[in-house]
Amino acid sequence: MSDTVLDRASAPRPTPKPGILDIAPYVPGKSKVEGVEHPLKLSANENILGSSPAAREAFSTAFDQLQMYPDGRSTILREALAATYGLEPDRLLFGCGSDEIFQMLNQTFLEPGDNIVQGEFGFGAYAIGARACQAEVRMAPEPGYRIDVDELLKLVDERTRIVFVANPANPTGTWNSGEEIRRLHAGLPPSVVLCLDGAYAEFCDDPAYEDGMSMVREFENVVVTRTFSKLHGLAALRVGWAYMPREMAAAVDRIRLPFNVNIPAQLAAVAALGDADFQRRSLALVNQWRPWLAQQLGGLGLEPLPSAANFVLVGFPATPGKTAKEADAFLSARGLITRYVAGYGLPNHLRITIGLEVHNRAVVEALAEFMKGAAQ
């Protein structure tokens, strides 16, 4: 028996396996401010328009089914998604949010000593699940706050099992072209899973962008994940899905908890998918205000990154009095909650979800005041 096994056997209380206590607890964005009654939450990239009226209506019909177990195959949602996007139903996998899908991929492919590769500012959920599998998490530099194909490939070795890329990315909002993603794929051994996290895919309409669905059909090692949490405004219901090769779906599905997507979630997601009007309005709002917000922030002497998602990441000076941390406190005190992203390795940035016109103007006005105050 190894030393750790003996140590754990003789410990005075149950001891988590090695690595668990090295995982930093996930800190979600703030949603409350002391002394402010109704703060505006622009910290979690939620849909500021709420959710589709059709989805709300469908959710309410679940009242009569609370005693029942859900359909473990999520058949109604499977068929609706397959029809909407022209996908084969048996290549779809559902999760309690896409978070659970990352978890299932990690559990399926990682054994102790394996590794995953992601960008240095990559989404935290990939790493938590990988560490829980006693795998190593390798973070590739992101020069210019963008995923760099060569930097990712440099970290890939014979113990690499999964490469995670969010495209567009969170928290940076930057994205990679289909050409870049294909070059990344071409540089990976066929044994490595390339997981393309498309949580913000709907928000990127650049012709050079590729959502990866056709790569899933072309190759046996590409997975695309999507979510109902952002565009569809159903974050509370936790519905994520993945499109993957058949063999992979058949493997991952074995460890899926049998009833992981609940009935209200399935009903609301199907209705949301059919509500083109709500999707259009949500996209139009972001398309109208994202460039405006970026331009205004730039005008204040701040450094917004070009974003292809429903938020803007903005850089602050490191000068005392003008820092992102102080700006975060200044905004919070005025009831405006944005996301301080130091936990992502970005201590000089704030991530701001696009709001309604009145919200976006309030943020800009408050930051103008902040920068003016700081100048004195």
Stretch that binds ligand PLP, among 54-62, 223-231, 254-262, 267-275 (CB under 6 A): 223-231
Contact flag: residue 123 with ligand PLP (CB under 6 A): yes
Query: What residues numbered 4-63 form the site for ligand PLP, per CB under 6 A?
Result: 45
Contact flag: residue 166 with ligand PLP (CB under 6 A): yes
Say which amino acid occupies 183.
R
| CB of 196 or CB of 285, closer to ligand PLP | 196
| CB of 182 or CB of 232, closer to ligand PLP | 232
Tokens 């913000």 map to which residue? Answer: 200
Say which amino acid occupies 100.
E
- 3 state DSSP class of 352: strand
Which of 39, 97, 119, 233 touches ligand PLP (CB under 6 A)? 97
Which of 128, 199, 269, 297 touches ligand PLP (CB under 6 A)? 199
Which of 235, 283, 300, 368 touches ligand PLP (CB under 6 A)? 235
Provide the CA 101 distance to its chain's centre, in angstroms.
12
User: Least distance (Å) from ligand PLP to the CB of residue 196?
Assistant: 11
- Number of CB atoms found within 10 A of residue 89's CB: 13
**Cβ contacts of residue 235 below 8 Å, gap of 6+?**
44, 46, 47, 97, 228, 229
The Cα 288–Cα 285 span in angstroms is 5
* x-or-dash string of contact with ligand PLP, 126-165, rule CB under 6 A: ----------------------------------------
Which of 98, 282, 338, 360 touches ligand PLP (CB under 6 A)? 98
Contact flag: residue 344 with ligand PLP (CB under 6 A): no
User: Least distance (Å) from ligand PLP to the CB of residue 225?
Assistant: 7
| CB of 203 or CB of 316, closer to ligand PLP | 203
Provide the CA 344 distance to its chain's centre, in angstroms.
13
* x-or-dash string of contact with ligand PLP, 314-333, rule CB under 6 A: --------------------
- 3 state DSSP class of 225: strand
Half-sphere exposure of 209 (CA within 13 A, CB side): 18
Give the residue at shortest CB distance from ligand PLP: 97
Provide the CA 80 distance to its chain's centre, in angstroms.
23
Please give the structure tokens belonging to residue 339. Answer: 């996301």
Please give the structure tokens belonging to residue 333. Answer: 């005190």
Closest of 199, 237, 234 to residue 49, by C-alpha: 234
Give me the count of residues in the chain.
376
Contact flag: residue 275 with ligand PLP (CB under 6 A): no
Contact flag: residue 227 with ligand PLP (CB under 6 A): yes
The Cα 292–Cα 287 span in angstroms is 9
User: Least distance (Å) from ligand PLP to the CB of residue 198?
Assistant: 8
User: Least distance (Å) from ligand PLP to the CB of residue 99?
Assistant: 4
Q: What are phi and psi of 333, to 5 degrees?
A: -60, -25
**Distance set, CA 19 to CA 23, 119, 137 (Å):** 7, 21, 12
Stretch that binds ligand PLP, among 91-99, 212-220, 355-363, 366-374 (CB under 6 A): 91-99
**Distance set, CA 176 to CA 98, 100, 104, 126, 308 (Å):** 20, 24, 25, 19, 10
Stretch that binds ligand PLP, among 13-21, 22-30, 69-77, 93-101 (CB under 6 A): 93-101
The Cα 135–Cα 176 span in angstroms is 26
| CB of 80 or CB of 374, closer to ligand PLP | 80
Which of 51, 59, 70, 99 touches ligand PLP (CB under 6 A)? 99
Closest of 96, 88, 102, 54 to residue 72, by C-alpha: 96
User: Least distance (Å) from ligand PLP to the CB of residue 169?
Assistant: 7
104 by Cβ neighbours in 10 Å (0-12 / 13-18 / 19+) ranks as buried
Residues in the interface with ligand PLP (CB under 6 A) total: 14
Contact footprint for ligand PLP (CB under 6 A) = 45, 97-99, 123, 166, 170, 197, 199, 227, 229-230, 235, 240
